Every structure is written in structure tokens, then in C-alpha cells.
Structure 1
Amino acid sequence: MKKLLYAIAVSATIFTGCSKDDDDQPIIKVPVQGEITGNITANRTLAFGNYTLKGLVKIQSGVTLTIEPGSTFTADQADGEDGLVVLNGGKLIANGTADEPIVFTAKTKLGGQWAGIIMYGDAPIVNSATATGTQTAKSEDGQDLSYGGTNAAHNGGSLKYVRVEYAGLVFNNNTREHNGFSFYSVGSGTVLENLVSYKGNDDGFEFYGGTVSAKNLISYGNTDDSFDWQDGWRGQDNTNWFAYQTGIANYGMEIEAKGVNNAFWPKATNITLKRAAGTTTESNSEKQYDAIQFKSHGNGDFSNIVIDGYASVESGFGSAVQIRDLATYTEQVVGGKIKLNNVKVTNTPVLFLSQNSGGAFTVNAASFGANWSVSTTATGASLTKGKWSTVDGLDLLANL
């Protein structure tokens, strides 16, 4: 009996020791390999893996696509127009982590390889000053889909720690073009947090109306505007936006409202807009060097802003804030609907630029009244580094 008890005790010790050793070993997850293509017509979860993205993959209304953290999707322009589209009523749940981001990239690491992530909703838009009732518009991504509606709380899902690389496929300007992220009348029920748009061939992020808000955004090296919106976008809870423009780039933020003098506007805090020395613009005919441009009744309430590097490349171009037209100056600036407070401006000799479209005007600090204030202590965006903000060893926040 003593021998048996001793044997049991020894066995227990060995078993316990093995368990401890096993606990000390890292769990290695093996990614699956697969392809995603066609319409998503039933709820589906994509396990952690490396996937090929082929064609315009469309999540249909009433359907949810869930993607596990750490997954990678690779597009190849050689097979045609690739992209991930969330149709109105569909949902995308792509919740990565700081250490396991969900990455959408391209086989060829050049901007303009694919269509990026496109989401549709039925939140309100304002597309025309003369239209009455519920307004809608047609998308400019070549799909010619209608967007707009009355559902301010539209929920298109949740995107957290998602990085889009080398998107911005453009066929025809304004009729068939894509950004890194395109949000068509997306509603406030949608979660957008810790997103990266990296080296695309058009805008990093574009909002076409809607009520969605976005937190912790990085727009790095995109060749058009870092952040762009129209159609009366009115997100109210935006914070920590960082744009780093390098190589070829236009505006840090391009803000317009399709000529509609709205009684509402978006709000954003903690914004950093930086332009690397030597960065040029897309078009020689339109010098788009400004950190922030307002036009067509674009407006907004912005605070804690850092602007750096928007020096005039040639006379008459390049500033911290450009007001494009007389109507925007009169109704939005003087009317108190553009608010820029706690602004720190460096390496940007010209604060305000008037383009005088629609009539002559001169914008200056006095034009804003109490809605413009400068600061030497503004901090801009606050973002935490990690794998989500690193591409091929490049720290995207090194210049923040």
C-alpha cells in the first residue's frame, strides 16, 4: 500500500510539473488560409487567418460578417476591383486589438490597388439646398447606390483596430473612386475606433453625411485629403485624429456641405495635422496645400488642434485655414458656425487664406470673433503606439 501511495504521489508531482511547464509555453495560433469573394448572404464568422479578398465582397442587408482579431486580407488588382462593402442593413464586426489588428492590404504595395472598406446606411444627409423631405444621393464609388434616410441611429457594426493599406482605387474622379474608408450616411449606432488608412490613392477617410462618430484615427500618406466630408455629416463625438501627409497630398481636412447652410455641424477634439517638407499636391492646376479647407457651407466645432508644416509653396497658396467662397465666409465664419479653438500653428506662415470664389472677402482672426483662439500649449491627438499603428516596421506615430 505504501508503494502504491508513493507511486501516486510521484505521478501527481510529474503531472503537476508538466502542467506548469505547459502553462509557461505561449499558445501559438495557426492562421487558416482562405478566400473571401461574392455576396455574404448568411451570418458568417471568419476565423483568425490570412485571406485573399477577391472582387467587391458585399455584406447583404440583415447579415452580419464577423472577423476574428489578427486576420489579414490581401487584394490583388490583377483580378479586378476588390473591396469590402457593407450594404445598408448589413453589419461588419471587425474588432481587432492593439496587438492583433485586422489588416486589409494589397499584394502590390502601391496606393490605388483596391477599393477599401465601404459602408452604407440610412442616416440623414443634406445634399441639396432646394430639396424637401428626406434627402438621398447616389454614391460616387461606381456602384450608383442610394444613401440617406431618417435613421440617425443606424448601426453598421463595429470596427476597432482595423488598418486599410494601399486602397484608393480611382477610375474616374467623382463618379467611380474609392477611399481608404468610405462611410455613406452611416449612423451613430456604428462603432469606429482605432482605424488606420495608410498610403491610399485618394482620401484616407470620407464621410458622406450621416451621424457616425470616429475615435483614434490615423491617416498616413494618402495622396488626396486625409479627412474629407460632405452631405451634412454631423458626427458629435469625434476625437484623436492624426494626419501625416508625405509625398503627395492635398488638404489635411476638406470640409463641405454641398452648398447647404445647415443649422448643425460636426464636433471633433484633439486633432493633429502635419505635412512633411517637400510634400506636393496631386494637381498643378489646383494647389491644395492647406491644413483645413472650408467650402460650400462646410462648418464644424473643433478644438485642441495642432497644425504643422503647411508652408506656402508658392504665393497665394498654403495656409492653416482656407475659406473657399463668399457664402461660406458670410454664413459659416461670420455666422459663428465654424469654431476653431485652442489651435497651435507651427511652420505655417499664413494663418488664413481667402480664395474669393463668389465674391471678394478677407478672412482673418477677427472674422471668427470668439470662435478662433490660438495656443502654445495645444496637444492635438493622443494615440498609443502598438502593432496596430506599425506597417512593415514603420511607426506611424513617430511624427505625432
Structure 2
Amino acid sequence: MKKLVFSLAIVGLLFASCTSDDDETTPVVTPPVDSGELTGDVTVSKTLIKGNYTLEGVLKVKSGVTLTVDAGSVITANTASGSSFDAILVEKGGKIIMNGTAAEPIVCTHATKVAGSWGGIIIYGDAPIVGSKKVTSANSEDGITSSEGKAYTYGGSNATDNSGSLKFVRVEYAGKKIADGSSELNGFSFYAVGSGTVLENLVSYKGNDDGFEFYGGTVSAKNLISYGNADDSFDWQDGWRGQENTNWYAYQTGVGNYGMEIESKNEDNDFWPVISGITLKRAAGTVTEDNTPQYDAIQFKSRGNGFYSNILISGYTNPSATAVRIQDEGTNTSQVKANKIKLTDIKINDGTNPFAYKDATITVTFPEGFFVTSTTATGASITPGAWAVIDGVNLLNN
């Protein structure tokens, strides 16, 4: 079994003082220092002091263990060293505490600055899922195996399960395609993560797959930025049911598929996620992966559902695109007609079509009050800061 390796440099204490009592104290942000290498299994609870760390391979936080990372830390993956891929992975029963600040976010990146270079952050919890044929547990879809060579399973019975806290964390250039040749890793992957887990002020930047993906679970997320990810900005399945989601912002540029891909493994669930304050923007000239017709801002399929409000959509002007698409008759019959999909206060700019469906065999008519457009919706309202600035560019300016 691999071990966690830390080569920690001596860190000096820096002090800032005012010249007089009348001066206002300005917080001093000191750069992190080189603090060593991260690799293997974390088997004892540890705190990583603010520093620059190199990630070699998959860092696994084991069950019963808490890994804490100080604000301002930078973790740089380095697959060039010979590892098949790099990722930060929290096993079921483990916890990760990564609480940065607006001024000092925790940045997880790759040395090459190339999309698809590493695996991002992956968390396995113990909250409920509803998979295909109503299974309550399933093998993870990312193709990663445990130290024993077995596929990770997800799905449990603890709706309030706590896998830790991520605040002001940025993941850059993730979306690695792994050894099986078909599985790709997201910026953030949440498998059966419970509502006791805190997800706030997170950025997924220029990954090669989805920005954020939820595989079942009950966790909610606030203040999310998905920027320049090549597949979907936000994606979920397996009966994800987070109830307190607010302020989700997506900007698709270069290559990007759906703004939000919403599905539920064809299971007709009597619950759904709730999200308020959504902004979905697509830059001119953005194409889809392999030129597939996946241009829509929001797509519902396989009985995906949910209640969504205060939505701002712009830039989805391709002739094949629409603001909201109902992809199949099963979703139309069991979700739209059954009042399980609700979109209110929707502002659609740029002449994007309001909603559509796969083909002429489907006739979609939302119940009264369940699809309501607006001229005043504002979408996501997120406070900018250093946590949302990369190479001098404020991601929220778009």
C-alpha cells in the first residue's frame, strides 16, 4: 500500500503591522512556500499548512480519516512524473476540509495548464441514490479502482452524511481520460455525497469533461462557477436531490455541450433537486465535442426532473439549440405532465428558442405555472474575488 509522503519545508511566520493606531489594518496575503509532495493513502488525519504541493498519482483519504488543507495552498498535479493519472479522492467514511477564502482560495491545478491533464476532486459519500432499476448502490462511472483493485461503489442510507467542507476551492484543467480509454474524470465528482457536506464558492475551470457532476446523494452547493469545460457545465443522475442550491454560473467557450444535463436513469422518482439563481452563457463560436448536436442550455432526459427559478440564458443561438429541451416521451409523460419539472422566472436572451423536444412524435405542454418566462430575471448573484480570477481574468465578467 502506498504511503502519504510529505517533504515539508520550514515555514517562517510573517507579521504585518500598522505605523499608527489610526491606520486601517489591511490583510496581507503572503505567497505559499514549497512544502513537498502528496501521494498515496492518507491513513492518519493530517493538516497541510499553507504551501505549494506537488500531487503525484491518486491521493486517497481513507475511511475514518480527515485531511485538512489550509487556505492559500496550491496543489499542482504532475502526471509527467510517470503516474497514470492524478486525482484527490475521498473514500466513503473519509473527510476533506478545504476551506479557502475569497482572497486566498485553495487552487488545484496541473503544471501543463492543458485541459484533461488530471482527475480533479472525487468524493464518495454514504447518502442514498436511485440507480438504474432502482438499485441503491452502483459502481462508480469514472473507472477508478481502490487500492485492492476493486471498483468503488457508491450509495448508502445516511442522507445527512458528512464528507467534509469545500469552500473557495478552484479545480483547473481536469477531465483526464483514464486507462480504460472511455472514462473521463470531471472537475468535481460527487458520488452519493450527503447533506452534511458543505460545498460553497467552487470553480471548475477548463476541464475536458463536466465541470460538476452529482451521482445521487443529498448534498447542496452554493456559488458554483463552471467555466470553459468541454462537456456539460453541470450534470447529474442517480436521483440527486439537493434542496438548497443557489447561484450556479456557467460560461461555455471553445468547446462545450449542455449547460445543464439532467437525467435520472429512467427512474420515476418522487423527489427532485431545487436550484435558484442560474446563469448559463455560451460564447459565440463555441462548438460541441465531436460536433455532436448537444447545444441546449438545459436538457431533461431519462426522467430527469427538478424545480428551477431565476434563470438567465444567453448565447444558445445555434439552429439546433434551445433553452430547454425535453428529450424523450418518458420524461414528458412522467415528469412534465406530472408536475415534476418546474422552471420559473426564466429570461432568455439572444433569440434562443424557449423549449423544444426531440422530434415530432412528442408534444410538450407544460402545466400552467410550470414554465414561466420573465424580462427581469437576474440569474446567479456571486460576489467576485481572487478566488474567481485566473491569469488576471475575472471569470464572472462574462
TM-score for the superposition, normalised by structure 2? 0.90
- Counterpart for residue 96 of structure 1: 100
Query: 1:170 Cα deviation (Å)?
Result: 1.6
Q: Measured at CA, do residues 206 and 30 of structure 1 come closer, stay the same or move farther in structure 2, by a change above 3 Å? A: closer
Query: 1:175 Cα deviation (Å)?
Result: 5.7
Query: 1:283 Cα deviation (Å)?
Result: 2.3
Q: 1:33 aligns with which of 31, 35, 46?
A: 35
Query: 1:237 Cα deviation (Å)?
Result: 0.3
Q: 2:128 aligns with which of 120, 124, 127?
A: 124
Return the alpha-carbon distance in structure 1 between the equivalents of residues 32 and 262 of structure 2: 44
- Counterpart for residue 383 of structure 1: 382
1:278 equivalenced with 2:285 (yes/no): yes
Q: CA-atom RMSD, angstroms?
A: 2.0
Query: 1:351 Cα deviation (Å)?
Result: 1.5
Q: 1:292 aligns with which of 294, 298, 305?
A: 298
Q: 1:70 aligns with which of 66, 69, 72?
A: 72
Is the contact between residue 50 and residue 71 of structure 1 (CA under 8 Å) also seen in structure 2?
yes
Query: 1:362 Cα deviation (Å)?
Result: 2.3
Return the alpha-carbon distance in structure 2 between the equivalents of residues 174 and 211 of structure 1: 30
Q: Measured at CA, do residues 196 and 28 of structure 1 come closer, stay the same or move farther in structure 2, by a change above 3 Å? A: closer
- Counterpart for residue 363 of structure 2: 362
- Counterpart for residue 311 of structure 2: 305
Q: Measured at CA, do residues 362 and 283 of structure 1 come closer, stay the same or move farther in structure 2, by a change above 3 Å? A: farther
Query: 1:251 Cα deviation (Å)?
Result: 0.2
Is the contact between residue 141 and residue 175 of structure 1 (CA under 8 Å) also seen in structure 2?
no
Query: 1:85 Cα deviation (Å)?
Result: 0.2
Return the alpha-carbon distance in structure 2 between the equivalents of residues 209 and 338 of structure 1: 18
Query: 1:128 Cα deviation (Å)?
Result: 2.4
Greater shift in the superposed pair: 62-71 or 77-86: 77-86
- Counterpart for residue 61 of structure 2: 59
Q: Measured at CA, do residues 346 and 173 of structure 1 come closer, stay the same or move farther in structure 2, by a change above 3 Å? A: farther
- Counterpart for residue 47 of structure 1: 49
- Counterpart for residue 346 of structure 2: 343
Return the alpha-carbon distance in structure 2 between the equivalents of residues 75 and 382 of structure 1: 31
Query: 1:244 Cα deviation (Å)?
Result: 0.2
Q: Measured at CA, do residues 174 and 181 of structure 1 come closer, stay the same or move farther in structure 2, by a change above 3 Å? A: farther
- Counterpart for residue 320 of structure 1: 323
Query: C-alpha deviations, 1:185-208, integer Å up to 9, x for none?
Result: 000000000000000000000000
Q: Measured at CA, do residues 332 and 178 of structure 1 come closer, stay the same or move farther in structure 2, by a change above 3 Å? A: same
Query: C-alpha deviations, 1:347-372, integer Å up to 9, x for none?
Result: 1432112114xx81122xx4242111
- Counterpart for residue 335 of structure 2: 332
Q: Measured at CA, do residues 28 and 376 of structure 1 come closer, stay the same or move farther in structure 2, by a change above 3 Å? A: closer
Return the alpha-carbon distance in structure 1 between the equivalents of residues 384 and 391 of structure 2: 14
Aligned structure 1 segments of 4 or more residues deviating by more than 3 angstroms: 19-30, 171-175
Aligned to 1:62, the other structure's residue is in SS state coil
Q: 1:238 aligns with which of 245, 249, 264?
A: 245
Return the alpha-carbon distance in structure 1 between the equivalents of residues 297 and 181 of structure 2: 22
Return the alpha-carbon distance in structure 1 between the equivalents of residues 29 and 203 of structure 2: 28
Structure 2, unmatched stretches of 5+, are 1-16, 145-150
What is the percent sequence identity of the aligned residues?
59
Query: 1:142 Cα deviation (Å)?
Result: 1.3
Is the contact between residue 32 and residue 72 of structure 2 (CA under 8 Å) also seen in structure 1?
no
Q: Measured at CA, do residues 63 and 130 of structure 1 come closer, stay the same or move farther in structure 2, by a change above 3 Å? A: closer
More helix by proportion, 1 or 2?
1
Query: C-alpha deviations, 1:43-75, integer Å up to 9, x for none?
Result: 100000000011000000000000000000001
Query: C-alpha deviations, 1:8-51, integer Å up to 9, x for none?
Result: xxxxxxxxxxx864998958565242111110000100000000
Is the contact between residue 319 and residue 348 of structure 1 (CA under 8 Å) also seen in structure 2?
no
Query: C-alpha deviations, 1:240-274, integer Å up to 9, x for none?
Result: 00000000000000000000000000000000000
Q: Which runs of structure 2 are paired with 1:249-264 in the superposition (5 Å)?
A: 249-264=256-271
Q: Measured at CA, do residues 173 and 311 of structure 1 come closer, stay the same or move farther in structure 2, by a change above 3 Å? A: farther
Aligned to 2:280, the other structure's residue is in SS state strand
